[in-house]
Amino acid sequence: MQYVCSDIHGRYDKWCALLAALDLKPTDTLYVLGDVIDRGPDGIKVLQDMAQRLNVIPILGNHELDAALCIPKLLQEVTDESIAALSGKDFAALSEWLQNGGGPTLRGLQQSSPAEREELLDYLRDMDLYAAVEAGGRNFVLTHAGLDHFEAEKPLEDYELLDFLLGRPNPLDEIWHDKSKFLVYGHTPTRVLREQMGESPADTILRCGQQIAIDCACVFNGKLGCLCLDTLEEIYV
């Protein structure tokens, strides 16, 4: 089976509960659509666990990108002194990351060894921007935030980096002409998307035509949602 989840945001407890619920087999695959870290307390633990699992495929999120830009400056020693020594540009990037919930991740790095930080940085740098998956007679494009500046005939490789990471799709928009092709993304909690559509907020997966939004506000007292791509079954913890 092939599964997809997103926006764990440091909730190691939810991550462990999802793994237990799925009982992943070696032949199963779980795609994680970014924003594993930040806001919640244990993003580093989630990343380290994911990195040990060959059948867990990470997709880059905007929070991982922020971390990847800041970590190289902090690899030698994450201390109050090293943070104070950052250049103005470095400090601006770090400040933006912290304002966006990076504090718990930075504290996790502070408790990690230099070798562990190097391994995490390599893991972040190896993350893909999207995955194209066939399952259950359907074709899925998996990204963190949808596809900004969408064009039906535009090849995926022609999109810019931030088109994958910072988009805010309208779930009601029609996308590809091929009705067996679906776009699956996180980034924007489904409670927010539902409110924008005039619906009552709910922390469940939102399916509108060929768009499937799966960020169920895990870190905001919502749920960690997971979709089985083969059957479209929804799993929540």
CATH code of 180's domain: 3.60.21.10
Q: Where among 125, 141, 172 does a domain terminate?
A: 125
79 with 55, same domain: the answer is no
Rounded distance, CA 193 to CA 201, Å?
8
Confidence class for position 135, pLDDT limits 50, 70, 90:
very high
Instruction: Check residue 87 and give its pLDDT.
Output: 62
Cα–Cα distance, 104 to 201 (Å, whole number): 28
User: Full-prediction pTM beyond 0.75?
Assistant: yes
Please tell me whether residues 27 and 134 are part of one structural domain.
yes
What is the per-residue pLDDT for 156? 96
114 with 228, same domain: the answer is: no
Tell me, yes or no, whether 34 and 105 share the same domain. Answer: no
Give pLDDT tens digits for 151-197: 999 999 999 999 999 999 999 999 999 999 999 999 999 999 999 99
Same domain, 137 and 99: no
Among 125, 140, 155, the domain-final residue is 125
pLDDT at 17 over 70: yes
**Tell me, what's the pLDDT at 115?**
87
Which range of residues forms the domain containing residue 27?
2-60+128-236
My answer on whether 151 and 48 are in the same domain is yes
Residue 228 phi/psi, 5° resolution?
A: -85, 115
What band does 93 get if pLDDT is binned at 50, 70 and 90? confident
3-state secondary structure of 71: helix
Give the per-residue pLDDT at 110.
83
Instruction: Please tell me whether residues 146 and 200 are part of one structural domain.
Output: yes
Tens digits of residue pLDDT in 3-15: 999 999 999 999 9
Q: Are residues 231 and 134 in the same domain?
A: yes
Q: What is the mean pLDDT of residues 35-57?
A: 96
- The crossing angle, in degrees rounded to 10, of helices 43-51 and 12-22 is 40
Higher per-residue pLDDT: 63 or 80: 63
Instruction: Say if residue 137 is in the same domain as residue 213.
Output: yes
Residue percentage of the chain with pLDDT more than 70: 92
Helix, strand, or coil here: 130?
strand
> Which of 108, 125, 142 is where one domain is finished?
125
213 and 113 inside one domain: no
pLDDT tops 80 at residue 88: no
Confidence of residue 96 (pLDDT cuts 50, 70, 90): confident
Query: Which of 63-72, 173-182, 217-226 has the weakest average pLDDT?
Result: 63-72
pLDDT value of position 99: 84
Decide which of 176 and 75 is more confident.
176
Same structural domain, 229 and 154: yes
pLDDT of residue 50: 98
Confidence of residue 94 (pLDDT cuts 50, 70, 90): confident
Closest CA to 70 of 41, 38, 42, 111: 38
Residue 51 is predicted with a pLDDT of 97
DSSP code, position 156: G
Q: Tell me: do 144 and 49 sit in the same domain.
A: yes
Whether residue 44 contacts residue 109, with contact meaning beta carbons closer than 8 Å, is answered with: yes
**Residue 95 in tokens:** 């400040």
Count how many domains the chain has.
Answer: 2
Cβ-proximal residues to 149 (8 Å cutoff; 6+ apart), any chain: 159, 160, 163
